[in-house]
Amino acid sequence: MESQKIYYYTDFNTFKLILQNGTLRFKESTSSNDNFDTVQLYENLFEMAIKRLDEGDLKAEQQFFFDMQKHNGSKSTRISLVSCFTSKADSRMLWDAYTMHRKDRSAERYNGLCIEFDKNELLNAMLTNAQQFDVKRCQEIVYGFESINDVLEKYMDTYSYEVHEISQEEDQTQNLIPPIPIPLTNKVMDFKKCIVIPTLRLVDRIDAAAPFFKHSFWREEYETRALLSIKKGTPFAKSLDRYSDGSAYFDLQITKNCINKVILGPEFSQEDAEILNLLDAKIVFNDLMIVPSEGTGVITNR
């Protein structure tokens, strides 16, 4: 059975904000420090489209979909916001990577924190407090890109099956995609329901899966990701808060029920605890189960 304990490493200042606001921040997956994050699946899809079109002998719906990828480019139709966890508690490597050396600052001591989240409670918070997002998931990362094509093959098989099933319906009208005028003619292309609905479902499956594949270089992190995803053109997507680089973020409301315990960084001090206890906070530090790191008194920042 999959463990329901997942761990979130953070520096001292960010932990203060989590307590004060009672929120956990979700950021765009493509804004991470991984050049391949989320985008690799679309690279594979584009290459698959070119190869299959060159080979020919495709089912009509797959010809349509791969043509669309070739001419429009394979890219996400969604904003994918993620919060990143791990199955590793009290990891020396993760203390170093995620509590000491952030992009905008560098901690002077190992006084960050490792929060043990209850995965089910986190999912409940996502379902309750992020209703604007139509895709909400929390699952382990797949490392290495070898399996991407296998996943895409399964999606294409499902796509063809759905096209066949819906084509049996007598009424093929749909109002999701309007008729498209054909250049230099008086004709329009009016899409049937049996192609529109399966195609939209296929695109959503691909977009929802893309943030869960990472390069094998990151394998040591044993990452689990929580995903909030929304179509780019929706009013709420356009209203999301943005960083100065244009990337979006969302602060999910959580409660202390989401947190099983907090592991204190190896150089977390009594003074640090006093600062947290004095906060006017939605999640009270003193109400949480607190345990010291095994590295306390062992490692120091020199």
Contact at 8 Å (CB) between 241 and 93?
no
Q: Do 175 and 59 share a structural domain?
A: yes
Distance CA 261, CA 282 (A): 16
Question: Residue 93: which residues within 8 A CB-CB, separation 6 or more?
Answer: 220
**Confidence tier at 110 by pLDDT (50, 70, 90):** very high
- Report the candidate in 191, 171, 197 with the shortest Cα–Cα distance to residue 179: 191
Mean pLDDT across 104-118: 88
Q: Do 298 and 221 share a structural domain?
A: yes
Which residues lie across from 117 on neighbouring strands? Answer: 6, 259
pLDDT 10s digits, 153-183: 999 999 999 999 999 999 998 888 887 776 7
pLDDT 10s digits, 131-146: 999 999 999 999 999 9
Contact at 8 Å (CB) between 291 and 263?
yes
Q: What is the DSSP string of 31-72?
A: GSS-TTTTTHHHHHHHHHHHHHHHH----HHHHHHHHHHHHH
Distance CA 75, CA 138 (A): 22
Contact at 8 Å (CB) between 166 and 197?
yes
**Confidence tier at 107 by pLDDT (50, 70, 90):** confident
Confidence at residue 90, expressed as pLDDT on a 0 to 100 scale: 97
- Report the candidate in 153, 113, 129 with the shortest Cα–Cα distance to residue 15: 113
Where in the sequence is the domain holding 205, given as residue range(s)? 39-75+145-210
Confidence at residue 56, expressed as pLDDT on a 0 to 100 scale: 85
Confidence at residue 13, expressed as pLDDT on a 0 to 100 scale: 93
Tell me the pairing of strands 290-292 and 259-264: parallel
Q: Domain total for the chain?
A: 2
- Choosing from 190, 210, 230, the residue where a domain stops is 210
Provide the percentage of residues in the chain whose pLDDT is more than 90. Answer: 84
Confidence at residue 105, expressed as pLDDT on a 0 to 100 scale: 65
pLDDT 10s digits, 247-301: 999 999 999 999 999 999 999 999 999 999 999 999 999 999 999 999 999 988 8
| 103 vs 107 pLDDT, higher one | 107
Confidence at residue 271, expressed as pLDDT on a 0 to 100 scale: 97
Q: Do 261 and 228 share a structural domain?
A: yes
Tell me the pairing of strands 213-214 and 142-143: parallel
Distance CA 138, CA 224 (A): 7
- The mean predicted confidence, pLDDT, of the chain is 93
Confidence at residue 2, expressed as pLDDT on a 0 to 100 scale: 52
Query: Residue 151 — φ and ψ, nearest 5°?
Result: -65, -45
Q: Is the pLDDT of residue 302 over 90?
A: no
Q: Do 284 and 154 share a structural domain?
A: no
Distance CA 87, CA 91 (A): 10
Q: Do 282 and 265 share a structural domain?
A: yes
Q: Do 43 and 20 share a structural domain?
A: no
Distance CA 1, CA 120 (A): 13
End-to-end alpha-carbon separation of the chain, Å? 41
* Tokens encoding 14: 């960010």
Residue 75, Ramachandran bin (φ over 0: left; ψ between -120 and 50: alpha; else beta): beta
Q: Do 247 and 197 share a structural domain?
A: no
| 178 vs 66 pLDDT, higher one | 66
Distance CA 116, CA 99 (A): 15
Mean pLDDT across 16-35: 95
- Choosing from 178, 210, 242, the residue where a domain stops is 210
- Choosing from 179, 210, 241, the residue where a domain stops is 210
Mean pLDDT across 40-62: 94
Confidence at residue 1, expressed as pLDDT on a 0 to 100 scale: 42
Classify residue 22 by its DSSP letter. T
Confidence at residue 66, expressed as pLDDT on a 0 to 100 scale: 95
Q: Is the pLDDT of residue 106 over 90?
A: no
Please count the residues of the chain. 302
Q: Do 297 and 255 share a structural domain?
A: yes
Confidence at residue 301, expressed as pLDDT on a 0 to 100 scale: 80
Neighbours of 82 (CB within 10 A): 24
Confidence at residue 43, expressed as pLDDT on a 0 to 100 scale: 96
Q: Do 293 and 236 share a structural domain?
A: yes
Q: Do 259 and 194 share a structural domain?
A: no
Contact at 8 Å (CB) between 61 and 167?
no
Q: Do 182 and 47 share a structural domain?
A: yes
Q: Do 271 and 160 share a structural domain?
A: no
pLDDT 10s digits, 73-91: 889 999 999 999 999 999 9
